[in-house]
Amino acid sequence: MSEFLDEHIAAVRAAAERIRPHVRRTPALRTDLDPGLRLKAECFQVTGSFKPRGAFNAILSLVERGPRPNGVIAVSSGNHAQAVALAARTVGLPALILIPADANPAKVAATRALGAEVIQENVTFANREQRLREMMAERQLTLVHPFDDWDVIHGQGTATLELLADEPDLDVIAAPLGGGGLLSGAAIAAKSHSSKLKVVGVEPAAADDAYRSWKAHRIVALERTPATLADGVRTTAIRERNFEVMFGRGLVDEVVTVTEDEIAAAVRLAWTRLHLALEPTGALPVAAYIAGKLGTGRIGMILSGGNANLETVATLLTQ
């Protein structure tokens, strides 16, 4: 194992211990869809997605390192927002979350219910980074980035660490790919377990910046915010830390893209056959599987969340 992997898997294991009192060990489910599939159901995680793993690790680490911050700030379409709100409340820190005005209303309501201040007015996917910098400076808050943060990446890696403890003989690990925090953590855990374990990121074809970055061997940004059912991966570009793990160090073997029709079909299959209430982002690995894009063998899927917009799901289920 390389020095890089040694260092980062140690941090993932430390994160697992740090966050253990605050998150759930989610199940690795089997299904009659395919005896070789193992579904890491993060839809059963605290707040309904994998995000508390990284948020708790980042915020607990902030408090441990000191000095105690004035509060934390994040920008999110919803799942990271809820996770930061919960972790901040747990340690007694104020949290301010910027959420684009067109985000899932259920995710916004849940974030407020967890005690965070939410700002949506005049926040868009296009300007949210600028608004974030302004509010950070104005209120002297500490950023908890959704994916460009080693503590967040290490926390997200705990999901794959658990999966491989339960299912050590997998051939493939597949995870959704947006900013790359989840997949970076998954890749660290997977390649530390076995260099032969194939790691695959799944991205909407309509939001394929990471796929383009993988092919170009450099970070490629999309010109505009992508329109996709998978609202949790509507990023325009990955960042340097994520690029280094996934492509610079070669820990991700492949990135595959799925169409909007394939995502819709995966949501329908998840709700009706797997009996899992997945949001479209959480169903991305399922979309790749049913489209035949994950290869063969024993496949572990990180199903990232279940905070679906019910109107969207209702429409998909009746198509």
- Domain 52-143, CATH 3.30.390.50 — does that match? no
> Alpha-carbon dihedral of residues 307, 312, 317, 319, nearest 10 degrees?
-160
Q: What is the pLDDT of residues 243-263, one digit of tens each?
A: 999 999 999 999 999 999 999
**Please, which pLDDT band fits residue 180 given cuts at 50, 70 and 90?**
very high
> Mean pLDDT of all residues in the chain?
95
- Higher pLDDT, residue 177 or 226: 177
Domain 3-49+149-317: state its class: alpha beta
- The span from the first CA to the last CA of the chain, in angstroms, equals 48
**Domain spans of the chain?**
3-49+149-317, 52-143
Average confidence (pLDDT) over 54-77: 94
pLDDT value, residue 1: 60
CB distance 237 to 209 below 8 Å = yes
pLDDT value, residue 121: 86
78-95 per-residue burial string, b: 16 or more CB within 10 A, e: under 16? bbbbbbbbbbbebeebbb
**3-class SS of residue 258:** strand
Q: What is the pLDDT of residues 267-311, one digit of tens each?
A: 999 999 999 999 999 999 999 999 999 999 999 999 999 998 888
Average confidence (pLDDT) over 173-181: 97
**Please, which pLDDT band fits residue 107 given cuts at 50, 70 and 90?**
confident
Lowest mean per-residue pLDDT among 8-17, 69-78, 84-93, 166-175: 69-78
pLDDT value, residue 125: 75
Which of 174, 165, 172 has its CA nearest to residue 196?
A: 172
